[in-house]
Amino acid sequence: MSQEKILLARQPIYNTEREIAGYELLFRTEVMPEKLDGNAATSQVLINAFLENRIEEITGGALAFVNFTRELLLEAVSFPPTPNLVIEILEDIHPDPEVMQAIETLKGRGATLAMDDYIPGTDMDAFLPFVDIVKLELPAIPPERLPLVIKALKQRNITLLAEKIETAEEFDNCLNQGCSLFQGYFLSKPIIVKGRKLPQSKLAVLQLLATIQNPALSIKAVIDTITKDPGLSFKLLQVVNSAAYRRPQKIDSIHMAVMLLGISRIKAWVTLLAMSSLDDKPASLVKIALLRARLCEMMAEHLDPNSRDAYFTIGLFSCLEAFFDTPIQELLLQLPLDPKIQEAITRMKGKAGLALHTTIQYERCKLENIHWNLLQRFGLDPQQISDMNIQAVQWVDAQEGIA
């Protein structure tokens, strides 16, 4: 199976500090993802992926959690030892003698083993002496039983990973009960409390965004606004001189940065840098916003080549709620954005909305929800989106001083 036939998606796994500890990787091996049966990759796909450094490209050296079917588990004993790989034993694998022999062999070779969707009191208990990580799918375990399950697993010195964490409240609950890894969409969801006013620090950032996004603001006024904040100026110059832009000449002034990158792109960077300064938000949320922005921008090459900067802004602003913990409609009332940008963000309308929808579904590894037929009208197929996603990941990793 060639490298070009592999589609890759990833879902972040966070630690107790809400920073990235690893990624669960999703492999696809056909042209159209909706035709796939695939809980996991074939052995050949996996071997190619590791030999060609595809895993390293999209995890940045973090742990790579990969689902193993029974067939792949039995074949894995012939793989060379792979650092950072976490072998996930799927919930439908039964502990027959062949499987147990393979698991013992892998464990003896130092492999890191995880058990997916663990249900206590089933034949999955046979794997407990060998696994390092147990993934708990919270909806499948009654809340009243969860503390006892966690206590029993902690006594075995097993790391607990809570799956399908959708809200900050669920994160806090699992954290307090002893889980140390977390998987789900909670980080990009806002913590909205009715009647709560924005704290002064966030209000100041929002006011800066409103100023910088004002289309009536002259280039000189934009430059003056940025240069009044030495910290912001320093970070912006650090970004535009990063490896992501590969410029032969160093950019040493905000004026030069605006002239070379354009006013729209500078506004977008100032927006992200301002949001990244919020103390209560982890750097991993900045990465989510930046990855959305870059992937939307790359799709604009096919969907609307003259609107690349607008697509970048749409991807960026799709995370506003999570940064400010305020409903997006309230935030947009305070920002002078083009109505088409607002509709793309709030209603996924138009071609820009299609780009944002595709980006978010890919982020969540829900490839079956992507409107592939619509994308094909613009010359975009699954392989191109997969390649764009990997390129966007690499681009985000190359940003200095921000991601």
Delimit the domains of the chain by residue range.
3-188, 200-397
Number of Cβ atoms within 10 Å of the Cβ of 381: 13
Task: Kindly report the CATH number that applies to the domain delimited by 200-397.
Answer: 1.10.3210.10
Of all helices (H) and strands (E), which one includes residue 115?
strand 112-115
Radius of gyration over alpha carbons of the chain, in Å? 23
* Residuewise pLDDT in 10s, the chain (403 residues): 344 456 788 899 999 999 999 999 887 655 444 444 444 444 555 655 555 556 777 788 899 998 888 888 888 877 766 778 899 999 899 999 999 999 999 999 999 999 999 988 899 999 999 999 999 988 788 888 888 999 999 999 999 999 999 999 999 999 999 999 999 999 999 988 777 788 888 899 999 999 999 888 899 999 999 999 898 899 899 888 887 777 778 888 999 999 888 998 899 999 999 998 888 899 999 999 999 999 999 999 999 999 999 999 999 999 999 999 999 999 998 899 899 999 999 999 999 999 999 999 999 989 889 999 999 999 999 989 999 998 999 899 888 656 5
Instruction: For tokens 């110059």, name the residue.
Output: 237
- The model's pTM is 0.89
Extended strands (E) in 222-320: none
Residue 83's Cβ-side half-sphere holds a number of Cα atoms within 13 Å equal to 5
DSSP 3-state assignment of 77?
A: helix
Beta bridge partners of 161: 135, 181
For domain 3-188, the CATH superfamily is EAL domain (3.20.20.450)
Instruction: Report the candidate in 285, 318, 312 with the shortest Cα–Cα distance to residue 296.
Output: 312
Q: What angle, 0 to 180 degrees and rounded to 10, lies between the N-to-C axes of helices 219-227 and 254-261?
A: 140
Maximum Cα–Cα distance across the chain:
73
Q: Characterize 225-250 residue by residue with b for buried, 16 or more Cβ atoms within 10 angstroms of its Cβ, and e for exposed.
A: bbeebeebbebbbebbbbebeeeeee
Q: What angle, 0 to 180 degrees and rounded to 10, lies between the N-to-C axes of helices 219-227 and 230-240?
A: 110
